[in-house]
Amino acid sequence: MEKLKFAFYWAASCGGCEIAVLDINEKILDVTKQADIVFWPVAMDVKYKDVEAMPDKSIDVCFFNGSVRNSENEKMAKLLRKKSKILVAFGSCAHEGCIPGLANLHDRQEVFRKVYMDCPSVKNESHAVPAPSVKVKEGELHLPEFYDTVKTLGQTVEVDYVLPGCPPPVDLIVKAVEAIATNKLPPKGSVLAPNKSVCDECPRKREKKRISKVYRVYEKPPEPELCLLEQGILCMGPATRAGCGAQCLKVDMPCTGCGGSCPGEMEQGAAMMSALASILGVDEEKQEGYDPQKLISQVKDPVGTFYRYSLPASILRRRVKKE
């Protein structure tokens, strides 16, 4: 049998997804038995023009991590879509925008000002910021254009499958590769993770489902076996898709939501807001001195909490732009 052709690409991402591919350890040998890797910028010297020269649909599966934040990301997303039979949004950035997507609370100008001028460790007396093209005496130089808005891969090109997580858990990657090799992939558009929430995989005990106070992680050592949300520590578990085996919960850290929205849920942020509002202050609501505004004010940076991994994929997608 002819070997499959795989490609890996990173757009706006941290590189963690690339490490996750290597984290499958010796199973990578099984992968290379079944497939040739034809493009992988982090590990191989293949130029963009080599990809352009490949026939259309000649790559069997392309694993694309990272969100789309500049014109290079967009160009490669479109190119790899054209060259690949199956395009997998690999990891939270490609899936829902992830941490780079939080830049959607700002715009290009604000990001440039912060990064290239106001940042305390930066000395930039000429106030130089990246521009798409610049003339020097040797000629004109080009850089990719930096966009105002971070987009997900699915908002840029058609995506066939999604592997959620920041980065995707090894177990899910192995299962996905096996499904590809044995031709047992689910219908197109599927998320290659279980159809349940992190709470379903979490070993902690849930008892009363009502809280009176919200704690930030550093404010309180958690009880070892009790649900963190019931202890007042904000945990995104109820609004986050499973597949990770509740790894964070097993080491006393709350879920921050990297698995993305639960099946059938329109957006993760709204789902968590709804869940939290349902349990916060239930015991106090009919008592004297009940102050809902005070309760809600305990949630610091609500967008950064509820939309940490999913701002570009949310209903509003970004902060409203005003002229």
For position 29 contacting another protein by CB under 8 A, the verdict is no
Q: How far is the CB of 205 from another protein (least distance, A)?
A: 24
Q: State the minimum distance, in angstroms, from the CB of residue 234 to another protein.
A: 12
Binding mask 69-108 for another protein (x = CB under 8 A): ------------------------------------x---
Contact (Cβ atoms closer than 8 angstroms) between residue 82 and residue 56: yes
Number of residues that bind another protein (CB under 8 A): 38
Residue 95 CA to residue 312 CA, distance in Å, equals 10
Q: How far is the CB of 273 from another protein (least distance, A)?
A: 5
Q: Which range of residues in 1-9, 89-97, 117-125, 289-297 is near another protein by CB under 8 A?
A: 289-297
Given candidates 15, 189, 263, 292, which one binds another protein under the rule CB under 8 A? Answer: 292
Q: What single letter denotes the amino acid at residue 198?
A: V
Asked if residue 56 binds another protein (CB under 8 A), the reply is no
Asked whether 100 and 13 are in contact (CB, 8 A), the reply is yes
204 three-class SS: coil
Examine residue 283 and tell whether it contacts another protein (CB under 8 A): no
CB of 123 to another protein, least distance (A): 31
Which CB, 134 or 282, lies closer to another protein?
Answer: 282
Contact with another protein (CB under 8 A) among 229, 295, 308, 310: 295
Q: Choose which of 218, 221, 286, 289 interacts with another protein (CB under 8 A).
A: 286
* 92 versus 149: smaller Cβ distance to another protein: 149
User: Quick check: 303 binds another protein (CB under 8 A)?
Assistant: yes
Residue 7 forms beta bridges with which residues?
39, 62
Say which amino acid occupies 184: K
> Least distance from C-beta 294 to another protein, angstroms?
10
**Orientation of helix 170-181 relative to helix 27-34, angle to 10°:** 20
Q: Are 43 and 10 in contact (CB under 8 A)?
A: no
Q: How far is the CB of 146 from another protein (least distance, A)?
A: 15
Position 246 contacts another protein (CB under 8 A): no
Alpha-carbon dihedral of residues 101, 104, 107, 113, nearest 10 degrees? -50
Closer to another protein by Cβ: residue 163 or 280 = 280
Of 273, 262, 268, 270, nearest to 197 by C-alpha is 262
Between CA 112 and CA 123 the distance in angstroms is 14
229 near another protein, rule: CB under 8 A: no
Residue 135 is inside which H or E element, if any? Answer: strand 133-136
148 touches another protein by CB under 8 A: yes
Give least dist CB 159 to another protein, A.
Answer: 20
Q: Give alpha helix (H) positions in the chain.
A: 16-22, 27-34, 48-53, 71-83, 92-96, 108-113, 170-181, 198-201, 247-250, 268-279, 292-297, 302-306
Q: Which of residues 251-280 bind another protein (CB under 8 A)?
A: 266-267, 269-271, 273-274, 276-278, 280
Could you say which DSSP state residue 262 is in? Answer: P
Q: Considering only residues 248, 306, 308, 309, which one is a binding residue for another protein as defined by CB under 8 A?
A: 306
**Toward another protein, which CB reaches closer, 119 or 277?**
277
Chain centroid to CA 215: 25
Question: Which two structure tokens, joined as six digits, stand for 52?
Answer: 């352009």
Contacts to another protein by CB under 8 A: 105, 148-149, 266-267, 269-271, 273-274, 276-278, 280-282, 285-286, 292-293, 295-297, 299, 301-303, 306, 314-323
